[in-house]
Amino acid sequence: MAMMPSKSALLWFLIVVTNHVSEAAGRPKWRLTLAEDESLRSCHDRTVSFRSKETSRPELGAGPEPGDLAAAFKVPTLDGEFSYEPNALRASSLVIHAFTNKSGFLESLWSSESSLSSLVEGLPDRTQVLFASLDDSALSDALWMREQLQRAAARSNKKEVLSRLHFSPVPVFALGNWIPSVLYNWGCMGHNCGLSQAVFTSHGWKMPIITKRLDARYDWLMARWQPKSYQLVDAGDGCQHSPSVAGAVVWVSEGNCSFFTKVLNMAKSNASGVLVCSLPGNPIQDMNCVGDECYTPLSIPAAMVHQEVSISQALRVGQVVNVSFQTTPSPNFFISIDQKGALAEMGWFLYPTFSFINWQAQWFEFFADLQIKLQSPAEVVSVFDKIQMQGEKGAVATVDLPLGLWDFDTLELDASLSCPGSRDSSCAQWDHTVQLFVCCDHLGPYCNTELGRWITAFRRGIGRWLTDVSPLIPLLDSNKCTFTMKTVPWAKPWIVSLNLRFSASNQTALCVTGDSVEKLRPFRVMSLYSGGTFDRNYNKRYQPVKFPVPSLTKKVELYAVITGHGSDENGCGEFCVTSHHFLINAVFNNTRIFDSAGTALGCTMRVKEGAVPNEHGTWLYGRGGWCDGLQVNPWRTDVTKQLDMSGLESNTVVYFGLFDGKDPNPAQQPGNIIMSSFLVFYK
Ligand SMILES: *[C@@H]1O[C@H](CO)[C@@H](O)[C@H](O)[C@H]1NC(C)=O
Ligand SMILES: *[C@@H]1O[C@H](CO)[C@@H](O)[C@H](O)[C@H]1NC(C)=O
Ligand SMILES: *[C@@H]1O[C@H](CO)[C@@H](O)[C@H](O)[C@H]1NC(C)=O
Ligand SMILES: *[C@@H]1O[C@H](CO)[C@@H](O)[C@H](O)[C@H]1NC(C)=O
Ligand SMILES: *[C@@H]1O[C@H](CO)[C@@H](O)[C@H](O)[C@H]1NC(C)=O
Ligand SMILES: *[C@@H]1O[C@H](CO)[C@@H](O)[C@H](O)[C@H]1NC(C)=O
């Protein structure tokens, strides 16, 4: 239970985006656009006003953009000097973090033990981090940041990480190099920049009191503050119902009961929102639900602020205090340089933890390894080279395939999805399914068969993936084929590149030794089942298929690409555990279970495989056979031993899909399964 995404998130979503419900096929429903997010709006507007057009290069002098090579720089540090030379990093990446204690988000990031431990325990070995401060207090900030991490490193017994962490006592505004221009000019979306604040006014005061705030965890409380003035009312520790707070924002103190209890009590008392003030000396914390609490939907916003004596006093003497909410733009807090020396954005930090730095750094490692893989010998056929994919048509190209395909037994898809502009702010939202179809024989039964599937990275333009689809080589049995890559027609445009990489597995071994081990090659595919609406009739649609094994076949493989989408009352098929079974000859139960679906961090585990990290929305949750910003890996099983290979007898196969080991039986809004499945014959 504790691992599931909160039900409140689901309910909120269904209420807010019911206008999207008709977009059933393939459209995940459990995320929300951040258009309502105040911090997004302000930062985004700022970006636009600095740059005439998202798709164009910025004006001269505006500084480097993501993808540009970072110039050399030197920064004084507490231990001496940090010096960056292009090419010198090579195997390592660099994250630059600009701290300011004016941000409640950063205060929490730097105060939480779990956040600090995640950095010292999880920072990839090849990553360095340079910490600086945006403020006059840079020296004391640097000393404090170092002390926080030294303590965390000692606690975790990970002191070796400290040699890769560098602390600048010189404030960002005095660095004199290109770093400030990148921090100041790169807008951001969400928490990575912008100062979220609460503004308190009272007739007795000459000036408003403006404090930093940190809104409750995004996927716990999705209600947002309205752009208006609320009356503020004191409710002690908020651990009991409070009769006279209807319509007001309640001011409650930390402690005596959970954040959840406070917000629940105040919601039941018809309050409009909750401000929890920290106890004296305590930092602002990331308010979240715990365990079963997460299943109670709550529809009022809440935030944490520091205790302010004048506010408490004014409330105590019955003075009217109003509160409103704002986000003041700020420089970006995080930028980075990848292993090849290219500047990069850091994406969106869903909540205050250094894990988001680790995930981005893990992705840099993945990407560096991918570039090495792409240098291995292969016959490369370019299908799309930075082509816009949008609308019903998608991206379409007809290409000539190399002669002598028979020499190759490996086919990999090298695909990337980038955005119209250089910044992530120009990228399309949502995690939509992208499918690649191929047609080599316009009259044949396999015209427009699915060759590959990916899921878009919600507002991030860095995704690039290599997918082995070798068993489907027989589909390319022609010297000219047409490729179509599409996502849902209403999605904003993506810029796609796709290369087919044909190679012979283990080429060197073969050439050198003239290996006597026989190499098997797929020569025929037989299409099996596709998915459909995951309702009580789901399995009634599948009839057993009878087939003889073609003569000369040495090996038979089951090949399936399966993803679950949509959301019934159990979160099926995106967030529920479904299992998929191909029963061969009535006895062999080939089973695939999506057991990380619905886990809180399931997709973070796959960043090392290329899942794009730090996307918008809740990319972290495990899903039914897929992750945001990742290819869908084909499921391959050798079924040779399960078959009568003589070619004389027929074999049978039948598919069925289950939820919780049973036929699905949703009470509402059934989800759907997208599936391509084949038997592949090798000789
Ligand atoms: C950050 O600010 C809070 C109050 O706003 C204060 O209690 C804390 O000591 C500050 N931390 C640092 C490192 O300055
Ligand atoms: C508080 O807001 C109300 C309206 O929402 C307004 O009438 C009142 O003047 C405000 N009071 C202060 C102290 O700002
Ligand atoms: C917590 O409860 C105790 C006992 O009821 C009370 O004295 C104290 O003021 C409460 N703490 C806060 C922060 O309200
Ligand atoms: C909250 O509002 C509901 C609906 O308007 C009302 O029935 C209920 O009595 C109110 N509760 C409190 C504690 O004010
Ligand atoms: C390549 O061939 C060698 C020797 O035949 C074998 O040991 C090795 O596992 C093969 N590698 C792969 C990736 O198939
Ligand atoms: C196949 O396995 C699943 C669970 O692993 C089970 O629920 C199902 O009944 C099995 N089917 C058959 C026909 O054995």
Query: For residue 19, is pLDDT > 70?
Result: no
> Could you give the number of structural domains in the chain?
4
Instruction: Look over the chain and give the mean of its residue pLDDT values, rounded to a whole number.
Output: 89
Q: Do the domain assignments include residue 7? A: no
Ligand 5 atom at minimal distance to the Cα of residue 517: 5
pLDDT top residue among 190 and 295: 295
Ligand 1 atom at minimal distance to the Cα of residue 145: 13
Of 410, 418, 401, give the one whose Cα is nearest residue 465.
Answer: 418
Confidence band of 402 (pLDDT split at 50, 70, 90): confident
Query: For residue 614, is pLDDT > 50?
Result: yes
Q: Which residues line ligand 2 (CB under 6 A)?
A: 201-203, 229, 320, 322
Q: Which CATH number characterizes residue 264's domain? A: 3.50.30.30
The rounded Å distance from CA 658 to ligand 6 centre is 9
Ligand 6 atom 1, closest CA: 589
Across 496-506, average pLDDT? 91
- Helix or strand run (H / E) with residue 185: helix 179-185
pLDDT at 82: 96
Question: What six digits make up the tokens of 665?
Answer: 């039986």
pTM for this predicted structure = 0.90
The verdict on 341 and 420 lying in the same domain is no
pLDDT at 195: 97
pLDDT at 49: 32
d(CA 234, CA 236): 6
End-to-end CA distance of the chain: 48
The rounded Å distance from CA 255 to ligand 3 centre is 8
Ligand 3 atom at minimal distance to the Cα of residue 279: 13
CB-ligand 6 contact for 587 (6 Å cutoff): no
The verdict on 527 and 653 lying in the same domain is yes
Question: What six digits make up the tokens of 283?
Answer: 């930092």
Q: Which CATH number characterizes residue 346's domain? A: 3.40.30.10
d(CA 326, CA 37): 11
The verdict on 486 and 533 lying in the same domain is no
The rounded Å distance from CA 352 to ligand 6 centre is 43
Instruction: Read off the pLDDT of residues 219-249 as tens digits, 9 standing for 90 and up.
Output: 899 999 999 999 999 999 999 998 889 999 9
pLDDT at 472: 97
Ligand 2 atom at minimal distance to the Cα of residue 228: 5
Query: For residue 27, is pLDDT > 60?
Result: no
User: End of a domain among 507, 531, 552?
Assistant: 507
pLDDT at 189: 75
Q: Which residues contact 91 (CB under 8 A, 6 or more apart)?
A: 126, 339, 368
The rounded Å distance from CA 245 to ligand 3 centre is 19
Residue 81: strand pairing partners: 76
pLDDT at 43: 35
Of 631, 339, 349, give the one whose Cα is nearest residue 467.
Answer: 631
Ligand 2 atom 12, closest CA: 202
pLDDT at 45: 33
Residue 434 contacts residue 487 (beta carbons within 8 Å): yes
The verdict on 593 and 646 lying in the same domain is yes
Question: What six digits make up the tokens of 252?
Answer: 């409650």
The verdict on 135 and 172 lying in the same domain is yes
The verdict on 572 and 677 lying in the same domain is yes
Instruction: Read off the pLDDT of residues 45-74 as tens digits, 9 standing for 90 and up.
Output: 333 333 333 444 445 457 899 999 999 999
The verdict on 307 and 349 lying in the same domain is no
Confidence band of 23 (pLDDT split at 50, 70, 90): very low
The ligand minimizing its distance to the Cα of 663 is 6
pLDDT at 518: 65
* DSSP per-residue letters across 231-266: EEEE-TTS-S--TT-TTSEEEEES-SS-HHHHHHHH
Q: Do the domain assignments include residue 128? A: yes
Query: For residue 511, is pLDDT > 70?
Result: no
Of 512, 463, 475, give the one whose Cα is nearest residue 676.
Answer: 475
The verdict on 367 and 384 lying in the same domain is no
The verdict on 529 and 647 lying in the same domain is yes
The rounded Å distance from CA 517 to ligand 5 centre is 11
d(CA 489, CA 562): 21
d(CA 477, CA 375): 26
Q: Do the domain assignments include residue 202? A: no
Q: Do the domain assignments include residue 30? A: no
pLDDT at 408: 87
The rounded Å distance from CA 509 to ligand 5 centre is 7
The verdict on 356 and 379 lying in the same domain is no
Across 91-110, average pLDDT? 96
Q: Which CATH number characterizes residue 425's domain? A: 2.60.120.230
Ligand 3 atom 14, closest CA: 237
The verdict on 75 and 169 lying in the same domain is yes
Confidence band of 405 (pLDDT split at 50, 70, 90): low
Residue 261 contacts residue 250 (beta carbons within 8 Å): no
User: End of a domain among 314, 341, 371?
Assistant: 371
pLDDT at 39: 36
C-alpha triplet 196, 200, 205: angle, nearest 5°: 140
Residue 618 contacts residue 431 (beta carbons within 8 Å): no
d(CA 287, CA 308): 19
Question: What six digits make up the tokens of 539?
Answer: 């399995």
Q: Which of 201, 232, 320, 321 to mutate to test the pocket of ligand 2 (most atoms within 8 A of CB)?
A: 320
Instruction: Read off the pLDDT of residues 543-599 as tens digits, 9 standing for 90 and up.
Output: 999 999 999 999 999 999 999 999 999 999 999 999 999 999 999 999 999 999 999
Instruction: Read off the pLDDT of residues 134-144 as tens digits, 9 standing for 90 and up.
Output: 999 999 999 99
Q: Do the domain assignments include residue 146? A: yes
Query: For residue 512, is pLDDT > 90?
Result: no
CB-ligand 4 contact for 72 (6 Å cutoff): no
Q: Which conformational region is residue 41 in: left (phi greater than 0), alpha (psi within -120 to 50 degrees), or beta?
A: alpha
Query: For residue 34, is pLDDT > 50?
Result: no
The residue segments making up the domain with residue 420 are 374-507
d(CA 235, CA 274): 10
Say if strands 165-167 and 127-133 run parallel, antiparallel, or are unpaired.
parallel
Q: 302-312: b or e for each residue (b if 16 or more CB lie within 10 Å)?
A: bbbbbbeeebe
